[in-house]
A and B are shown apart, each in its own frame.
Chain A
């Protein structure tokens, strides 16, 4: 590694949504999760790439795409639904543009901004990338700006299933296959769902050619033995896989809800949306068909102050927010430079590596100005000699010596382990999943491959970390519970078909149509 450089940063954006696709519905409320993420996060990121490229600013980012998100973004019916959704939002924005002419000037300015922004997004989605924005990320990977990686098939928290090594392998294999089908190559790195690691997982990843992964800080610090450079330099496991430790405290600078940048009063207030504010008759065509109010993406208020009630918020001005973005990104870089100076004093024989990892959707969707923040941050780094952006691949290629250690079982969840995914509210999931796995493994000699492949999909879809997490967090619980029940029910119906020897082809076809995911799946991959 070049010893003259002061320090480097790795930025990982992990993009994931659970598989939510309801082709039998013209509209489905939970499909909006994807649509909002496309509008507020994924396409703004693509716009950011274009801006930086136009300014000839070199940058390096790691982006992880979960297989479920890849499948959804590749889905033709979801692409069509997104266009319908976005056109409706544009129609609403047009109305807002007219309506706000008689309201406050800033509001009208923002209505104009939203209208133009949504039209841009539609153009990028429909015209530039022919409805498949994954091609944009592929394009920027080929240009050398991005390093793309993926995660397990359905984003299962793998340590919870360590008792079933074959299921772990299916999760890894069909994650990688889904990624390859879209991006044309296998990834070198792997995102551990929820950063869930257990001893032995490195060996499984190595079997699939994975060269590196990330763990949360304490997963590395509590490893055996401790890492001599803390989280500021990669280590290697006994299976020769590199591990990068996320520095949680540094990440908190950005997203801590009490002190992080996103709390700046000038930033947009997430919870104040015209989907809730406008009168029902006016808004009813733009919210969920059931009449349940939901976000539209048009928001006119800023955070104003943490102690302010929603009704007491002041109007949002994107130009004012942009001033905050510049201040915050500059502050962030200055803090990192100071940190690197201290680290250099402590570890004089290495170039410190600071690893940042976030849910991609945090930028733009949750923190509206987050993508702008990233763009400014990249600009500041580009024009600064003391710090630079890098990728794990580049770091690995420059390493001469590395410490060998075994990270500890850990996750990035609250308290650092698995309490969010196993607790008194959601633990009822696991006996069901274990029973499904046991049954599945006992049926592998059956000749009905289609049914067994479908059973495997149902197991993996039940394992999605999101359902357990949603139940813990107490929001949209009903949907999560019903998704689990549905997959379990389908699994047992398929099992009943195997037991009776009578395949209900219509039902099987229907389930294959509903859960149209991992279509190349072959359960016999790991059979002896």
Chain B
């Protein structure tokens, strides 16, 4: 059953009419006697609420959910965290920004907490050249100490290439000691690939042929202009992303946002 805030408010503070209360009771499957007075109905509804809560059958709704036992995102999902695993997942947000998130196993959390405070936990990004971790083109390292974070955004200068990340620390000799490794991602491209070697497939003969064709486009070079380190961007501005940006629901109750 879904119980919403309107109901709690109604019972606790606002002044519901007896008819409203009878409707609520009906919706909750409570049978009332004709002779019952307002305060009796409120009492019966409250008892029913307690019973449903104890049975775990209450789901809060749009107006109210207060999921006390869990929180999500960067905070632990539940007190007894079931996933005891090291994980580092990187995702491209756009051609330059990577969103990284990580979980540590209990053992690794313990190890990190025992490290001296002046040792920084940092992220390294490896630009993969030939699809293997062994063939690294460039390495980028973040300056920030990530010890107290579970996710972070990183700027990488090179779009359209593959990256793998590692979280690790620098020892006293400035050697990077990796702790966990991420998945590999390919960053989006943001410019035209000017290769002149093209492949044309003939559907009748099922044959491919390679041709050379000169680029016949005016390439507009983009100027870097990303906000520094802040991905809490609210880039939507005034323009409703009607088609091309998703969802119909954005518009549905956006009354008053249009200029």
Task: Name A's B-contacting residues (CB within 8 A).
Answer: 16-18, 22, 24-26, 28-30, 33, 36-37, 159-160, 162-163, 194, 198-199, 216, 218, 221-226, 228, 230, 236, 248, 251, 255, 257-258, 270-271, 276, 290, 294-295, 306, 357-359, 361-362, 365-366, 399-405, 408-410, 412-420, 422-425, 427-432, 434-435, 438-439, 465-466, 469-470, 472-476, 478-479, 481-482, 484-486, 488-489, 492-493, 495, 499, 504, 506-507, 510, 514
Contacts and interface: CB of A to CB of B under 8 A. Distances in A.
A505 to B, nearest CB: 13
Nearest to A356: B243
A343 to B, nearest CB: 13
A290 B6 CA distance: 7
Contacts of A399: 203
Given A365-B248, A430-B99, A507 B57 contact: yes
B103 A423 contact: no
Nearest to A294: B253
Interface in B125-141: none
A417 B93 contact: yes
B245 A412 contact: yes
Nearest to A25: B2
A146 B87 CA distance: 46
Contact of B73 (A228, A276, A362, A432): A432
Given A402-B200, A431-B150, A473-B250, A486 B245 contact: no
A78 to B, nearest CB: 16
A136 to B, nearest CB: 20
A276 B253 CA distance: 12
Contact of B189 (A18, A159, A408, A432): A408
Contact of B241 (A251, A403, A413, A482): A413
B70 interface: yes
B110 interface: no
Contacts of A430: 89, 91, 99, 101, 151
Contacts of A425: 232, 234
Contact of A359 (B78, B191, B201, B246): B246
B192 A401 contact: no
Given A429-B72, A439-B82, A163 B183 contact: yes
A36 B255 CA distance: 15
Most chain B CB neighbours (cut-off 10 Å) among A417, A425, A478, A479:
A417
20 contacts: A226-B192, A251-B243, A255-B243, A290-B63, A365-B252, A401-B202, A401-B203, A410-B188, A412-B243, A425-B234, A431-B74, A435-B77, A466-B247, A469-B250, A481-B65, A485-B72, A486-B67, A489-B70, A495-B82, A499-B82
Nearest to B192: A226
Contact of A431 (B151, B194, B200, B202): B151
Nearest to A478: B62
Contacts of B185: 162
Given A409-B189, A488-B77, A366 B246 contact: no
A502 to B, nearest CB: 13
A514 B2 CA distance: 10
Nearest to A486: B59
Interface string B175-216: 000000001011111111111111111111000100001011
Given A22-B61, A222-B160, A414-B239, 12 more contacts: A22-B2, A248-B244, A359-B242, A401-B202, A416-B94, A417-B93, A417-B188, A420-B236, A423-B93, A434-B87, A434-B101, A486-B59
A257 B232 contact: no
B189 A222 contact: yes
A473 B242 CA distance: 11
Contacts of B240: 257
B228 interface: no
B214 to A, nearest CB: 10
Interface in B77-91: 77-78, 82-83, 85, 87, 89, 91
A435 B71 CA distance: 13
A403 B200 contact: yes
Contacts of A362: 242-243, 248
B37 interface: no
